[in-house]
Amino acid sequence: MEATDEPEVIQDDKEMKTICSGFEISDNSEGRVEEEVLDYSHEIPSPDDGFLQVCIAIDPEMSETLRDAVWNQLFTMSEKVDLDDETIAYVPCAFYCVMLETEKFNQRPFPYSMLNILKICSVSVMEFFDKLSRWIDIATSSKKIQEHSFKIQSSLAVTVVIYKKLVPIFRSLFRYVPSSASQSFDSNSLFTFVWLIIIIMKKSLPCEDLLTCFHMLLCVVEWIYKDLCFHDCEEHIEPESVTHMMENKDGVRVLEVLCRSFDGVLLDAKHFRTHWFNVKRENILPSLNHKDLDIRNNF
C-alpha cells in the first residue's frame, strides 16, 4: 500500500463515524446486541395523557424510570410500525418486555401483576400473547425474552387443557352443593381448593408436559376425594362415583378408576404418585395437614 492511501482511509473512517453518530460503538457490543431492546435515536416526547392514566391506574406512585422506559419503547414502536390504532392493547407488551429486562429474568418477581395490567388495558390473555409475539419479533431480539415468552405460553396452553379435563372429572365425582347459611363449604369452594392445589403443584413439577400435569391432576383429585369420603362428607360425593369405585373386589381404587374413565396411563400415574406426588407435596404445601387434610372443617 502506498503512503498516500492512508489519509484517505482515515478520512473515510471519520466520515463513517459521522454518519453513524446515532449509534454507540463499543468493543464488546457484539456480545450484547441480542439482549438489547429496540433503540431509537430521535427525540421522544413526554408521555401522553392516555398512557399516564394507565400508569396511575397501575400504581399512582410508579417510578419515573420504569414509566419512561415503557413509554420510550411504546413510542418507538408506534413510530416504526403500524399498531393498527390499538396502541393501548400494546401497552402490556411494553410493560412485559421492560419489566423482564429490568428484573434480570426471574431473579425477582415483576413489580406489577401482568394480569392487573391486562385488566386495566382491557386486554384478554389470549389477545396479549397474540400481540406479544409480534411485539417481541419487532421490538427486541433478546433470546431470553423470546424463550421466557414461549415458556409462559406453553405453560398456559397446558393449564387450559388441564382445566378442561378437570371440569368433567369434578362433575363425575362430586355433587353440586350450593352455598347456604348451614353450608359454607360449597361446590365452588371445593373446586377452587382443588384447582389451587393443582396450580401450586404444577409450578413445582420437574417437567410441565401435558401427560405429567394430567397425572398430577388425577393424584390431587384422588387425594381430595379420599379425604371427603374418610370424613363422611356425603353431601359432596356423587353416589354413582362410589359405585364405580367399589366395583373392584380388591377395594377402592380411585386412581385406577380415574385412569380407566379419563384416559390416564395407570402405570405412569402410580409411578408419579409414589415417587413424586407423595414425596413432594408436604414441601410444596407446608400449610396443609397431610396426615389428615379434613377439608370441610379446615378450609
Say which residue, 26 or 187, is predicted with more confidence.
187
Cβ pair 91, 117 in contact under 8 A: yes
Cell digits of residue 61: 406512585
Contact 44, 50 (CB under 8 A): no
pLDDT at 81 (0 to 100): 80
Within 10 angstroms of residue 109's Cβ, the number of other Cβ atoms is 9
Q: How far apart are CA 101 and CA 111, in angstroms?
A: 12
State pLDDT tens for residues 170-223: 999 999 988 876 777 899 999 999 999 999 999 999 888 999 999 999 999 999
27 vs 1: CA distance, rounded Å: 27
Query: 87-102 vs 49-58: helix axis angle to the nearest 10?
Result: 50
Q: Mean pLDDT score of the chain, rounded to an integer?
A: 80
Q: Nearest CA to 63 among 109, 111, 101?
A: 111
CATH class, 49-141 region = mainly alpha
Vertex 294 angle, CA 293 and 299, to 5°: 95
Q: What is residue 24's predicted lDDT score, i.e. its pLDDT? A: 38
Distance of CA 39 to the CA centre of its chain: 27
The yes-or-no verdict on residue 32 having pLDDT over 50 is no
Read off the amino acid at residue 184: S
Which pLDDT does position 143 carry in this prediction?
78
- Grid coordinates of 292: 389428615
Query: pLDDT class for 13, splitting at 50, 70, 90?
Result: very low
Domain ranges of the chain: 49-141, 153-297
pLDDT, position 104: 54
CA dihedral sign of residues 259, 263, 266, 271: negative
Q: Could you give the percent of the chain with pLDDT greater than 90? A: 39
Q: What is the pLDDT of residue 101?
A: 79
pLDDT for position 136: 83
Angle at CA of residue 76, ends 71 and 77, nearest 5°: 100
Structure pTM?
Answer: 0.70
Query: What was the pLDDT predicted at 25?
Result: 32
Q: In the prediction, which pLDDT does 244 show?
A: 73
> CB–CB of 95/68 below 8 Å?
no
For residue 211, what are the CA distances in angstroms to 48, 76, 87, 205, 259? 48, 42, 39, 12, 12
CB 258 within 8 A of CB 222: yes
Instruction: Render pLDDT for 133-152 as a digit per residue (tens, 0 to 9).
Output: 888 877 765 777 888 888 88
Instruction: Tell me the mean pLDDT in the region 264-288.
Output: 92
Average pLDDT of the segment spanning 251-273: 88
Q: For residue range 81-107, what is the model confidence (pLDDT) as tens digits?
A: 877 667 888 999 999 988 887 765 444
* Confidence (pLDDT) at 103: 62
- The answer to whether residues 265 and 259 touch, using CB atoms and an 8 Å cutoff, is yes
Give the model's pLDDT for residue 84.
65
What is the Cα–Cα distance from 264 to 278, expressed in whole angstroms? Answer: 18
Q: Which residue is listed with cell 394507565?
A: 54
Given a cut of 50, whether residue 33 has pLDDT beyond it is no
